[in-house]
Structure 1
Protein backbone atom coordinates (compact mmCIF):
# COMPACT_ATOMS: atom_id res chain seq x y z
CA UNK A 1 0.00 0.00 0.00
CA UNK A 2 1.28 3.49 -0.79
CA UNK A 3 1.21 6.15 1.90
CA UNK A 4 -1.77 8.53 2.16
CA UNK A 5 -1.21 12.16 3.14
CA UNK A 6 -4.17 13.99 4.67
CA UNK A 7 -3.76 17.59 3.57
CA UNK A 8 -5.72 20.55 4.91
CA UNK A 9 -7.40 23.27 2.88
CA UNK A 10 -7.39 26.19 2.66
CA UNK A 11 -3.63 26.79 2.81
CA UNK A 12 -2.62 24.18 5.37
CA UNK A 13 1.04 23.73 6.27
CA UNK A 14 0.53 20.23 4.84
CA UNK A 15 1.41 21.93 1.53
CA UNK A 16 5.06 21.38 2.41
CA UNK A 17 4.53 17.65 2.85
CA UNK A 18 2.97 17.43 -0.63
CA UNK A 19 6.02 19.17 -2.08
CA UNK A 20 8.34 16.85 -0.15
CA UNK A 21 6.51 13.77 -1.42
CA UNK A 22 6.79 15.04 -4.99
CA UNK A 23 10.52 15.60 -4.60
CA UNK A 24 10.99 12.22 -2.94
CA UNK A 25 9.68 10.17 -5.86
CA UNK A 26 7.92 7.86 -3.39
CA UNK A 27 4.46 6.51 -4.30
CA UNK A 28 1.68 8.27 -2.39
CA UNK A 29 -1.96 9.24 -2.41
CA UNK A 30 -3.76 12.27 -1.03
CA UNK A 31 -6.89 12.68 1.09
CA UNK A 32 -8.43 16.17 1.16
CA UNK A 33 -9.48 17.58 4.55
CA UNK A 34 -11.64 20.70 4.47
CA UNK A 35 -10.86 22.83 7.50
CA UNK A 36 -12.20 23.40 10.02
CA UNK A 37 -15.29 21.23 9.59
CA UNK A 38 -13.71 17.88 8.66
CA UNK A 39 -10.97 17.90 11.29
CA UNK A 40 -13.60 17.55 14.01
CA UNK A 41 -15.30 14.49 12.50
CA UNK A 42 -14.91 11.04 14.10
CA UNK A 43 -13.44 9.78 10.81
CA UNK A 44 -10.54 12.23 10.90
CA UNK A 45 -10.07 12.03 14.67
CA UNK A 46 -9.45 8.32 14.15
CA UNK A 47 -6.39 9.33 12.13
CA UNK A 48 -5.27 12.26 14.26
CA UNK A 49 -6.98 12.67 17.65
CA UNK A 50 -5.59 16.21 17.90
CA UNK A 51 -7.67 17.21 14.88
CA UNK A 52 -4.95 18.96 12.88
CA UNK A 53 -3.37 18.51 9.47
CA UNK A 54 -1.20 17.12 8.07
CA UNK A 55 -1.44 13.47 8.96
CA UNK A 56 0.07 10.52 7.18
CA UNK A 57 -1.11 6.95 6.88
CA UNK A 58 2.17 5.21 6.21
CA UNK A 59 2.69 2.34 3.81
CA UNK A 60 2.63 0.07 6.89
CA UNK A 61 -0.79 1.40 7.85
CA UNK A 62 0.42 3.43 10.83
CA UNK A 63 -1.10 6.87 11.46
CA UNK A 64 1.50 9.60 11.88
CA UNK A 65 0.85 13.26 12.78
CA UNK A 66 2.92 16.48 13.03
CA UNK A 67 4.82 17.99 10.10
CA UNK A 68 8.28 17.33 11.51
CA UNK A 69 7.55 13.65 12.05
CA UNK A 70 5.97 13.31 8.61
CA UNK A 71 8.80 15.11 6.82
CA UNK A 72 11.44 13.03 8.59
CA UNK A 73 9.50 9.86 7.75
CA UNK A 74 9.49 10.86 4.07
CA UNK A 75 13.14 11.85 4.17
CA UNK A 76 14.29 8.59 5.74
CA UNK A 77 12.93 6.73 2.71
CA UNK A 78 14.24 9.21 0.14
CA UNK A 79 17.84 9.92 1.11
CA UNK A 80 18.95 9.08 -2.42
CA UNK A 81 16.83 11.97 -3.72
CA UNK A 82 19.04 14.45 -1.83
CA UNK A 83 16.21 16.05 0.16
CA UNK A 84 17.28 14.39 3.44
CA UNK A 85 20.28 12.77 5.10
CA UNK A 86 21.13 9.73 7.17
CA UNK A 87 20.58 10.14 10.90
CA UNK A 88 23.82 10.67 12.78
CA UNK A 89 25.43 12.78 10.05
CA UNK A 90 26.26 16.48 10.35
CA UNK A 91 23.91 17.16 7.44
CA UNK A 92 21.03 15.45 9.24
CA UNK A 93 21.63 17.57 12.33
CA UNK A 94 21.60 20.76 10.25
CA UNK A 95 18.40 19.74 8.51
CA UNK A 96 16.74 18.86 11.80
CA UNK A 97 17.83 22.21 13.26
CA UNK A 98 16.31 24.11 10.33
CA UNK A 99 13.08 22.13 10.45
CA UNK A 100 12.83 22.83 14.17
CA UNK A 101 13.33 26.56 13.60
CA UNK A 102 10.68 26.61 10.89
CA UNK A 103 8.26 24.82 13.20
CA UNK A 104 8.87 26.51 16.53
CA UNK A 105 9.69 30.05 15.34
CA UNK A 106 8.59 30.68 11.75
CA UNK A 107 5.32 28.72 11.89
CA UNK A 108 4.53 29.79 15.45
CA UNK A 109 5.00 33.48 14.61
CA UNK A 110 1.72 33.45 12.69
CA UNK A 111 -0.31 31.93 15.55
CA UNK A 112 -1.67 35.22 16.99
CA UNK A 113 -2.71 36.36 13.52
CA UNK A 114 -4.49 33.08 12.73
CA UNK A 115 -6.32 33.42 16.03
CA UNK A 116 -7.62 36.80 14.89
CA UNK A 117 -8.91 35.35 11.63
CA UNK A 118 -10.55 32.34 13.21
CA UNK A 119 -12.09 33.79 16.39
CA UNK A 120 -14.24 36.72 17.41
CA UNK A 121 -12.27 39.46 19.18
CA UNK A 122 -13.02 42.91 20.53
CA UNK A 123 -11.15 45.94 19.21
CA UNK A 124 -8.67 46.02 22.08
CA UNK A 125 -7.78 42.36 21.60
CA UNK A 126 -7.45 42.82 17.83
CA UNK A 127 -4.97 45.65 18.25
CA UNK A 128 -2.95 43.74 20.84
CA UNK A 129 -2.81 40.50 18.86
CA UNK A 130 -1.98 42.29 15.61
CA UNK A 131 0.92 44.13 17.21
CA UNK A 132 2.15 40.96 18.91
CA UNK A 133 1.82 38.89 15.75
CA UNK A 134 3.51 41.54 13.58
CA UNK A 135 6.50 41.61 15.91
CA UNK A 136 6.83 37.82 15.91
CA UNK A 137 6.53 37.54 12.12
CA UNK A 138 9.02 40.35 11.53
CA UNK A 139 11.56 38.78 13.89
CA UNK A 140 11.13 35.33 12.34
CA UNK A 141 11.63 36.72 8.84
CA UNK A 142 14.69 38.71 9.88
CA UNK A 143 16.25 35.68 11.57
CA UNK A 144 15.61 33.38 8.61
CA UNK A 145 16.86 36.06 6.21
CA UNK A 146 20.21 36.04 8.02
CA UNK A 147 20.31 32.24 8.18
CA UNK A 148 19.71 31.92 4.44
CA UNK A 149 22.19 34.61 3.41
CA UNK A 150 23.27 34.23 -0.19
CA UNK A 151 22.85 30.44 -0.27
CA UNK A 152 20.62 29.10 -3.08
CA UNK A 153 18.64 26.91 -0.63
CA UNK A 154 18.12 26.97 3.12
CA UNK A 155 20.85 24.39 3.75
CA UNK A 156 23.18 25.30 0.91
CA UNK A 157 23.57 24.07 -2.64
CA UNK A 158 20.68 21.60 -2.76
CA UNK A 159 17.00 21.71 -1.91
CA UNK A 160 15.87 19.74 1.13
CA UNK A 161 12.81 19.03 3.22
CA UNK A 162 13.37 22.42 4.86
CA UNK A 163 12.67 24.27 1.62
CA UNK A 164 9.49 22.27 1.13
CA UNK A 165 8.29 23.13 4.63
CA UNK A 166 9.27 26.79 4.20
CA UNK A 167 7.15 27.40 1.12
CA UNK A 168 4.01 26.05 2.77
CA UNK A 169 4.34 28.55 5.62
CA UNK A 170 5.86 31.54 3.80
CA UNK A 171 2.75 32.00 1.63
CA UNK A 172 0.72 32.88 4.74
CA UNK A 173 1.81 36.50 4.42
CA UNK A 174 -0.98 36.91 1.84
CA UNK A 175 -3.52 36.43 4.64
CA UNK A 176 -1.74 38.61 7.16
CA UNK A 177 -0.55 41.96 5.82
CA UNK A 178 2.03 42.55 8.52
CA UNK A 179 5.26 42.15 6.52
CA UNK A 180 6.37 42.76 2.96
CA UNK A 181 8.60 39.88 1.91
CA UNK A 182 10.43 42.22 -0.46
CA UNK A 183 12.02 43.72 2.65
CA UNK A 184 13.79 40.36 3.01
CA UNK A 185 15.44 39.92 -0.41
CA UNK A 186 17.05 36.55 0.34
CA UNK A 187 13.72 35.07 1.38
CA UNK A 188 11.97 36.67 -1.59
CA UNK A 189 14.55 35.11 -3.91
CA UNK A 190 14.00 31.66 -2.38
CA UNK A 191 10.23 32.08 -2.40
CA UNK A 192 10.18 33.03 -6.10
CA UNK A 193 12.40 30.08 -7.01
CA UNK A 194 10.17 27.66 -5.13
CA UNK A 195 6.98 29.09 -6.63
CA UNK A 196 8.37 28.19 -10.06
CA UNK A 197 9.19 24.61 -9.00
CA UNK A 198 6.97 21.92 -10.63
CA UNK A 199 6.25 20.28 -7.25
CA UNK A 200 5.03 23.57 -5.79
CA UNK A 201 2.93 24.28 -8.88
CA UNK A 202 1.46 20.79 -8.49
CA UNK A 203 0.65 21.35 -4.81
CA UNK A 204 -1.12 24.63 -5.62
CA UNK A 205 -3.17 22.87 -8.29
CA UNK A 206 -4.12 20.10 -5.86
CA UNK A 207 -5.34 22.62 -3.29
CA UNK A 208 -7.24 24.62 -5.91
CA UNK A 209 -8.65 21.48 -7.56
CA UNK A 210 -7.35 22.43 -11.00
CA UNK A 211 -5.43 20.27 -13.45
CA UNK A 212 -2.44 18.95 -11.50
CA UNK A 213 0.55 17.36 -13.23
CA UNK A 214 2.75 15.27 -10.95
CA UNK A 215 6.44 14.80 -11.55
CA UNK A 216 6.62 12.42 -8.60
CA UNK A 217 4.84 9.30 -7.40
CA UNK A 218 1.32 10.70 -6.98
CA UNK A 219 -1.21 7.85 -7.38
CA UNK A 220 -4.47 9.78 -7.00
CA UNK A 221 -6.80 11.07 -4.31
CA UNK A 222 -8.97 9.05 -1.97
CA UNK A 223 -11.88 10.10 0.21
CA UNK A 224 -11.54 10.38 3.97
CA UNK A 225 -13.76 7.39 4.72
CA UNK A 226 -12.01 5.29 2.08
CA UNK A 227 -8.63 6.21 3.54
CA UNK A 228 -9.84 5.26 7.00
CA UNK A 229 -10.66 1.83 5.61
CA UNK A 230 -7.02 1.31 4.72
CA UNK A 231 -6.08 2.01 8.34
CA UNK A 232 -8.59 -0.58 9.60
CA UNK A 233 -7.31 -3.14 7.09
CA UNK A 234 -3.65 -2.51 7.83
Structure 2
Protein backbone atom coordinates (compact mmCIF):
# COMPACT_ATOMS: atom_id res chain seq x y z
CA UNK A 1 0.00 0.00 0.00
CA UNK A 2 0.97 3.61 -0.57
CA UNK A 3 0.01 6.53 1.64
CA UNK A 4 -3.15 8.18 0.33
CA UNK A 5 -4.43 11.65 1.08
CA UNK A 6 -8.18 12.17 0.99
CA UNK A 7 -8.59 15.81 0.03
CA UNK A 8 -11.69 18.01 -0.04
CA UNK A 9 -13.00 20.07 -2.93
CA UNK A 10 -13.76 22.81 -3.53
CA UNK A 11 -11.03 24.79 -1.75
CA UNK A 12 -10.37 22.44 1.15
CA UNK A 13 -7.71 23.16 3.74
CA UNK A 14 -6.26 19.80 2.61
CA UNK A 15 -4.58 21.84 -0.13
CA UNK A 16 -1.64 22.41 2.21
CA UNK A 17 -1.19 18.68 2.74
CA UNK A 18 -1.02 18.12 -1.03
CA UNK A 19 1.71 20.75 -1.25
CA UNK A 20 3.55 19.15 1.67
CA UNK A 21 3.42 15.72 0.01
CA UNK A 22 4.86 17.18 -3.17
CA UNK A 23 7.68 18.85 -1.25
CA UNK A 24 8.38 15.65 0.65
CA UNK A 25 8.77 13.64 -2.54
CA UNK A 26 7.63 10.26 -1.20
CA UNK A 27 5.22 8.05 -3.21
CA UNK A 28 1.60 8.93 -2.53
CA UNK A 29 -1.87 8.80 -4.01
CA UNK A 30 -4.84 11.14 -3.77
CA UNK A 31 -8.53 10.52 -3.23
CA UNK A 32 -10.97 13.28 -4.19
CA UNK A 33 -13.78 13.98 -1.72
CA UNK A 34 -16.55 16.34 -2.81
CA UNK A 35 -17.84 18.73 -0.15
CA UNK A 36 -20.36 18.88 1.41
CA UNK A 37 -22.00 15.82 -0.16
CA UNK A 38 -19.48 12.99 -0.09
CA UNK A 39 -17.57 14.24 2.95
CA UNK A 40 -20.71 13.81 5.07
CA UNK A 41 -21.73 10.50 3.54
CA UNK A 42 -21.92 7.23 5.45
CA UNK A 43 -19.18 5.85 3.21
CA UNK A 44 -16.64 8.56 4.01
CA UNK A 45 -17.59 8.56 7.70
CA UNK A 46 -16.36 4.96 7.82
CA UNK A 47 -12.91 6.48 7.24
CA UNK A 48 -13.33 9.68 9.24
CA UNK A 49 -16.35 9.68 11.60
CA UNK A 50 -16.14 13.47 11.95
CA UNK A 51 -16.93 13.86 8.25
CA UNK A 52 -14.13 16.30 7.46
CA UNK A 53 -11.08 16.39 5.24
CA UNK A 54 -8.19 15.86 5.06
CA UNK A 55 -7.58 12.27 6.07
CA UNK A 56 -4.30 10.50 5.42
CA UNK A 57 -4.32 6.74 5.10
CA UNK A 58 -0.74 5.67 5.74
CA UNK A 59 1.15 2.93 3.92
CA UNK A 60 0.31 0.60 6.81
CA UNK A 61 -3.40 1.43 6.72
CA UNK A 62 -3.51 3.75 9.73
CA UNK A 63 -5.78 6.79 9.44
CA UNK A 64 -4.70 10.29 10.47
CA UNK A 65 -7.11 13.22 10.37
CA UNK A 66 -6.71 16.96 11.03
CA UNK A 67 -4.26 19.04 9.03
CA UNK A 68 -1.86 19.70 11.89
CA UNK A 69 -1.55 16.00 12.70
CA UNK A 70 -1.00 15.10 9.04
CA UNK A 71 1.57 17.85 8.54
CA UNK A 72 3.54 16.80 11.62
CA UNK A 73 3.38 13.17 10.46
CA UNK A 74 4.85 14.16 7.10
CA UNK A 75 7.27 16.59 8.68
CA UNK A 76 8.89 13.89 10.80
CA UNK A 77 10.13 12.40 7.52
CA UNK A 78 10.97 15.75 5.98
CA UNK A 79 13.46 17.10 8.50
CA UNK A 80 16.35 16.44 6.15
CA UNK A 81 14.58 18.49 3.48
CA UNK A 82 13.99 21.40 5.83
CA UNK A 83 10.23 20.95 6.00
CA UNK A 84 10.22 20.42 9.76
CA UNK A 85 12.57 20.15 12.73
CA UNK A 86 13.46 17.61 15.39
CA UNK A 87 11.00 17.55 18.27
CA UNK A 88 12.44 19.20 21.37
CA UNK A 89 14.35 21.84 19.43
CA UNK A 90 13.64 25.56 19.54
CA UNK A 91 12.87 25.45 15.81
CA UNK A 92 10.27 22.71 16.26
CA UNK A 93 8.55 24.69 19.00
CA UNK A 94 8.43 27.71 16.73
CA UNK A 95 7.00 25.65 13.85
CA UNK A 96 4.37 24.18 16.15
CA UNK A 97 3.46 27.66 17.38
CA UNK A 98 2.99 29.02 13.87
CA UNK A 99 1.01 25.98 12.73
CA UNK A 100 -1.22 26.34 15.80
CA UNK A 101 -1.85 30.00 14.97
CA UNK A 102 -2.70 29.13 11.38
CA UNK A 103 -5.11 26.43 12.58
CA UNK A 104 -6.81 28.14 15.52
CA UNK A 105 -6.76 31.81 14.46
CA UNK A 106 -6.16 32.16 10.71
CA UNK A 107 -8.25 29.17 9.63
CA UNK A 108 -10.98 29.72 12.23
CA UNK A 109 -11.37 33.39 11.30
CA UNK A 110 -13.04 32.34 8.05
CA UNK A 111 -15.58 30.15 9.86
CA UNK A 112 -18.45 32.67 10.01
CA UNK A 113 -17.93 33.53 6.33
CA UNK A 114 -17.99 29.90 5.22
CA UNK A 115 -21.08 29.27 7.34
CA UNK A 116 -22.97 32.15 5.73
CA UNK A 117 -21.93 31.00 2.26
CA UNK A 118 -22.57 27.27 2.64
CA UNK A 119 -25.83 27.46 4.58
CA UNK A 120 -27.60 30.04 2.43
CA UNK A 121 -27.95 32.56 5.23
CA UNK A 122 -29.66 35.76 4.07
CA UNK A 123 -30.73 39.15 5.35
CA UNK A 124 -29.57 40.57 8.66
CA UNK A 125 -28.17 37.22 9.80
CA UNK A 126 -25.87 37.11 6.78
CA UNK A 127 -24.81 40.72 7.36
CA UNK A 128 -23.98 39.95 10.99
CA UNK A 129 -21.98 36.83 10.11
CA UNK A 130 -20.04 38.64 7.40
CA UNK A 131 -19.28 41.58 9.68
CA UNK A 132 -18.09 39.25 12.42
CA UNK A 133 -16.06 37.18 9.98
CA UNK A 134 -14.53 40.28 8.37
CA UNK A 135 -13.35 41.54 11.75
CA UNK A 136 -11.79 38.18 12.61
CA UNK A 137 -10.10 37.78 9.21
CA UNK A 138 -8.74 41.32 9.37
CA UNK A 139 -7.23 40.75 12.81
CA UNK A 140 -5.79 37.37 11.78
CA UNK A 141 -4.09 38.96 8.77
CA UNK A 142 -2.66 41.76 10.88
CA UNK A 143 -1.35 39.31 13.48
CA UNK A 144 0.17 37.03 10.85
CA UNK A 145 1.83 40.00 9.17
CA UNK A 146 3.54 40.70 12.51
CA UNK A 147 4.58 37.06 12.86
CA UNK A 148 6.08 37.07 9.36
CA UNK A 149 7.90 40.39 9.79
CA UNK A 150 10.77 40.73 7.34
CA UNK A 151 11.41 36.99 7.01
CA UNK A 152 11.42 35.30 3.61
CA UNK A 153 9.17 32.48 4.88
CA UNK A 154 7.02 32.08 7.97
CA UNK A 155 9.84 30.37 9.87
CA UNK A 156 12.80 32.23 8.40
CA UNK A 157 15.04 31.66 5.43
CA UNK A 158 13.52 28.40 4.16
CA UNK A 159 10.06 27.10 3.42
CA UNK A 160 8.45 24.71 5.88
CA UNK A 161 5.15 22.94 6.36
CA UNK A 162 3.77 26.18 7.81
CA UNK A 163 4.07 27.85 4.40
CA UNK A 164 2.27 24.92 2.75
CA UNK A 165 -0.62 25.23 5.20
CA UNK A 166 -0.71 29.03 4.90
CA UNK A 167 -1.17 29.13 1.13
CA UNK A 168 -4.14 26.76 1.23
CA UNK A 169 -5.99 29.01 3.67
CA UNK A 170 -4.83 32.40 2.37
CA UNK A 171 -6.52 31.84 -1.00
CA UNK A 172 -9.89 31.96 0.78
CA UNK A 173 -9.79 35.75 0.71
CA UNK A 174 -10.78 35.46 -2.97
CA UNK A 175 -13.99 33.63 -2.03
CA UNK A 176 -15.13 36.07 0.64
CA UNK A 177 -13.70 39.46 -0.39
CA UNK A 178 -13.60 40.98 3.10
CA UNK A 179 -9.90 41.92 3.14
CA UNK A 180 -7.41 43.06 0.54
CA UNK A 181 -4.21 41.09 1.06
CA UNK A 182 -2.27 43.92 -0.56
CA UNK A 183 -2.82 45.84 2.66
CA UNK A 184 -0.43 43.30 4.22
CA UNK A 185 2.62 43.51 1.96
CA UNK A 186 4.57 40.76 3.70
CA UNK A 187 1.73 38.27 3.36
CA UNK A 188 1.10 39.32 -0.22
CA UNK A 189 4.76 38.79 -1.08
CA UNK A 190 4.74 35.35 0.55
CA UNK A 191 1.48 34.38 -1.14
CA UNK A 192 2.75 35.37 -4.58
CA UNK A 193 6.00 33.45 -4.05
CA UNK A 194 4.09 30.34 -3.01
CA UNK A 195 1.63 30.62 -5.89
CA UNK A 196 4.60 30.40 -8.26
CA UNK A 197 5.85 27.21 -6.59
CA UNK A 198 5.43 24.08 -8.78
CA UNK A 199 3.87 22.10 -5.90
CA UNK A 200 1.25 24.80 -5.36
CA UNK A 201 0.48 24.95 -9.09
CA UNK A 202 0.16 21.15 -9.02
CA UNK A 203 -2.31 21.30 -6.12
CA UNK A 204 -4.42 23.90 -7.94
CA UNK A 205 -4.55 21.71 -11.04
CA UNK A 206 -5.54 18.68 -8.96
CA UNK A 207 -8.42 20.57 -7.34
CA UNK A 208 -9.63 21.82 -10.73
CA UNK A 209 -9.54 18.29 -12.11
CA UNK A 210 -6.95 19.23 -14.72
CA UNK A 211 -3.90 17.31 -15.86
CA UNK A 212 -1.42 17.89 -13.04
CA UNK A 213 2.34 17.52 -13.47
CA UNK A 214 3.93 16.30 -10.25
CA UNK A 215 7.44 17.14 -9.21
CA UNK A 216 7.14 14.73 -6.30
CA UNK A 217 5.94 11.16 -5.82
CA UNK A 218 2.33 11.40 -7.03
CA UNK A 219 1.11 7.99 -8.25
CA UNK A 220 -2.39 8.95 -9.33
CA UNK A 221 -5.90 9.12 -7.90
CA UNK A 222 -8.01 6.40 -6.34
CA UNK A 223 -11.69 6.36 -5.42
CA UNK A 224 -13.30 6.27 -2.01
CA UNK A 225 -14.53 2.76 -2.84
CA UNK A 226 -10.92 1.73 -3.44
CA UNK A 227 -9.94 3.04 -0.02
CA UNK A 228 -12.84 1.25 1.68
CA UNK A 229 -11.95 -2.06 0.01
CA UNK A 230 -8.34 -1.73 1.10
CA UNK A 231 -9.39 -0.97 4.66
CA UNK A 232 -11.50 -4.14 4.73
CA UNK A 233 -8.62 -6.23 3.38
CA UNK A 234 -6.24 -4.73 5.92
CA UNK A 235 -8.57 -5.37 8.86
Q: Same fold (TM over 0.5)?
A: yes
Q: Which residue of 2 aligns with 1:124?
A: 124
Match of residue 5 from structure 2: 5
Maintained 8 Å contact 1:3/1:58: yes
How far has the Cα of 1:233 moved from its partner? 2.3
The answer on whether the counterparts of 1:84 and 1:92 sit within 8 Å (CA) in structure 2 is yes
Aligned with 1:93: secondary structure? helix
Structure 1 stretch displaced more, 118-127 or 198-207? 118-127
Q: Tell me the equivalent position of 1:100.
A: 100
Distance in structure 1 (CA, Å) of the matches to 2:229 and 2:204? 27
Q: Partners of 1:69 and 1:180 in 2: how far apart?
A: 30
Alpha-carbon separation, structure 2, partners of 1:121 and 1:214: 39
- Whether the aligned pair in 2 keeps the contact of 1:62 and 1:231 (CA below 8 Å) is no
Task: Give how far 1:220 is off.
Answer: 0.7
Tell me what 1:166 maps to: 166
Alpha-carbon shift at residue 84 of structure 1 (Å):
0.7
- SS class of match (1:29): strand
Q: Which residue of 2 aligns with 1:196?
A: 196
What value does the CA root-mean-square deviation take over the aligned residues? 0.8
- Per-residue deviation, 1:63: 1.0
Matching residue of 2:212 = 212
Shift of 1:79: 1.4
Aligned residues: 234
Please show how residues 1-234 of structure 1 align to structure 2 within 5 Å: 1-234=1-234
Q: Secondary structure at the match of 1:219?
A: strand
Provide the rounded CA distance (Å) in 2 between the counterparts of 1:214 and 1:232. Answer: 30
Alpha-carbon distance between aligned partners in 1 of 2:145 and 2:218, rounded to the nearest angstrom? 33
Distance 2:132 2:173 in 1: 15
> In structure 1, what is the Cα distance between the partners aligned to 2:90 and 2:2?
30
Distance 2:225 2:90 in 1: 41
Is residue 109–residue 137 contact of structure 1 (8 Å, CA) maintained in 2?
Answer: yes
**How far has the Cα of 1:78 moved from its partner?**
1.7
| Offset at residue 229 of structure 1 (A) | 1.8
Residue 232 of structure 1 and its aligned partner are, at CA, apart by 2.1
Tell me the alpha carbon deviations over residues 94-128 of structure 1, each in whole angstroms, 9 at most, x when there is no partner. Answer: 10000000000000000000010011324111111
Structure 2, unpaired ranges of 5+: none
Take 2:27 and 2:96, find their aligned partners in 1: how far apart are those partners?
Answer: 24
Distance 2:2 2:75 in 1: 15
TM-score (norm 1): 0.98
Unaligned runs of 5+ in 1: none
Contact 1:26 1:78 in 2 (8 A): no
SS in 1 for 2:171: helix
